[in-house]
Amino acid sequence: MPKALLYDATLCIDCKLCEAACAEQNKNPFSDAVAKEQRTSDHKFTYVSDTHGDTFMRKLCMNCLDPTCVSVCPVGALVKTKLGPVTYDESKCMGCRYCMVACPFNVPKYEWSKAIPRVRKCTMCYDRVAAGKPTACAEACPTGATLFGERDALIAEARKRIAENPAQYVPTIYGLDEVGGTSVLILSSVPVGQFGYPTHYGQKPLPPLTADVLEHVPQVVTVGWAVLGGVWWITNRREIVEKEEKR
C-alpha cells in the first residue's frame, strides 16, 4: 500500500522540529537563520509558515500520485515509487530544470551556486520508508500534527476528525483529489489557498495535459531533447575524463 503524510495544521505549534529533522535527514544546514526562512529552497525542503498569526501551515513536496515532474523528465532522474515518495537520482539529471517549470506546487529547487548543481526537494524520506520507518518529520513531531502511514488509513483518519469536530476544520482534505491526488494530505481551520497552495488545477492529473501539448510540437521537443542530451553527454564525459586524469 502507498504511504502518505497527514498534516493537521490545527495541531501544529510551530516548534520547527520537523524542519530540523528534515535538515538532518538530508544533510542540510539548520540554524536559527535557516529556521526563519519562510520558503523552500535548495537547502530547506520544508518549512512551517506563520503568516496567519497562530495558524500555521507546512510546505513541502506533495509527492503527487501522478507527478508532472516525473512525466517531463527526459532522463528518468525523477521516479514515482510504489511506496509513495518521488525520488531523485542526481547521476541521471542533466539539469534541464523542466521539473521546476512543470511542478504545480513550485517545489523543485536548483543549486545555482554549485559548480555541479543538483535539483533539490523533499523525497519523503524514501530510504527510511523503504526500511519500514516513518519519515523524519513525522517521527520528530511532538504533537501529532504530522502523521505517517498508509494513505487510505490517513484519509479515513482525516475524515473522522472532520466529522467529530466540524467547527474546527474546513470540510475538505487538501491533496485527496487535487491534481489527481497527492501523498501529502492537509487538514486546516482556514482555506489552504490563504497559504499559497494552488486551488485552481482541479482533480485531474496534469501529466496527460502535458502530453497533449507536447503532441502538437513533436519536432521541437525531439530537437530539444537531442540538444539537451548532447549537452548532458559532453558535460558528463568531461567529468569522467577529469577523474581519469586525476588518477
Going from N- to C-terminal start, the domains of the chain cover 1-205, 217-247
Handedness of CA 213, 214, 215, 217 (dihedral sign): positive
- State the cell numbers at 246: 586525476
| Maximum separation of any 2 CA atoms in the chain, in Å | 67
Q: Spell out the per-residue pLDDT of the chain, length 247, in tens.
A: 899 999 999 999 999 999 999 999 999 999 999 999 999 999 999 999 988 778 999 999 999 999 999 999 999 999 999 999 999 999 999 999 999 999 999 999 999 999 999 999 999 999 999 999 999 999 999 999 999 999 999 999 999 999 999 999 999 999 999 999 999 999 999 999 999 999 998 888 887 766 554 445 455 444 555 555 555 544 554 454 445 445 4
Check residue 209 and give its pLDDT.
63
CA 54 to chain centre: 25
Say which CATH topology domain 1-205 has.
Alpha-Beta Plaits (3.30.70)
Check residue 207 and give its pLDDT.
79
